[in-house]
Chain A
């Protein structure tokens, strides 16, 4: 079946602009996660949507970062007033909510801030 889909695959923008990244999870997956991966680094957790519960926002690096999810479908990650240090690959994953179910990742959005 279809995997996690992210768009755009690449985004280049000027410092100070706002950007919006989109994630379409696997159908039926009630949990959705955002991670960030800087060049040559490991993945950093950003935010976790868990069904109808309040999201875990503990990984968001600043108040310029926010994310929304509509029901159990699409999520958007918004970065306001982008800075050069925001340049990274932003990865989305989804999973079934309960138990030991593995997360499945999209291929990410490569964000470059000029």
Chain B
């Protein structure tokens, strides 16, 4: 079973920041938080990952709480093309290869 909890769906206005929350209260010390998204008819796309420090790349920012029990993915200026299902996944280095996908958050960016 997935170790994360995410809202089923969210809406965001085009041009505004999209903040997607994820709860992972049972995360252990060596587990990373990964974010992927899946646009219809495509494979999942890697966005960002982190352990305990906040991370930023060209796509998004990842904010992890100090106790690491939750995190937020931030898309700073959402566009219509950001409409997708967003998956938050936790996995450790020594847990084999597989990613366990939950149901994710369906983000709808509206004009």
Question: Which chain B residues in 29-55 approach chain A with CB under 8 Å?
Answer: 32, 34, 41-46, 49, 51
Question: Which chain A residues in 1-51 approach chain B with CB under 8 Å?
Answer: 4, 31, 33, 42-43, 45, 48, 50
**CB-CB nearest in chain A for B102:** A42
Cα A63 to Cα B107 in complex, Å, equals 38
Q: A104 at the A/B interface (Cβ < 8 Å)? A: yes
> How many positions in chain B have a CB within 8 Å of any CB in the partner chain?
20
Contact between chains at B49 and A100 (CB < 8 Å): yes
For A105, the chain B residues whose CB sits under 8 A away are: 43-46
For A84, the chain B residues whose CB sits under 8 A away are: none
Chain B residues at the A interface, C-beta cutoff of 8 Å = 32, 34, 41-46, 49, 51, 93, 96-104
Q: Known pairs A42-B102, A102-B49, A105-B44. 15 more at Cβ < 8 A?
A: A31-B97, A42-B101, A42-B103, A43-B44, A45-B100, A48-B98, A93-B43, A93-B44, A95-B97, A100-B51, A102-B34, A103-B97, A105-B43, A105-B46, A107-B42
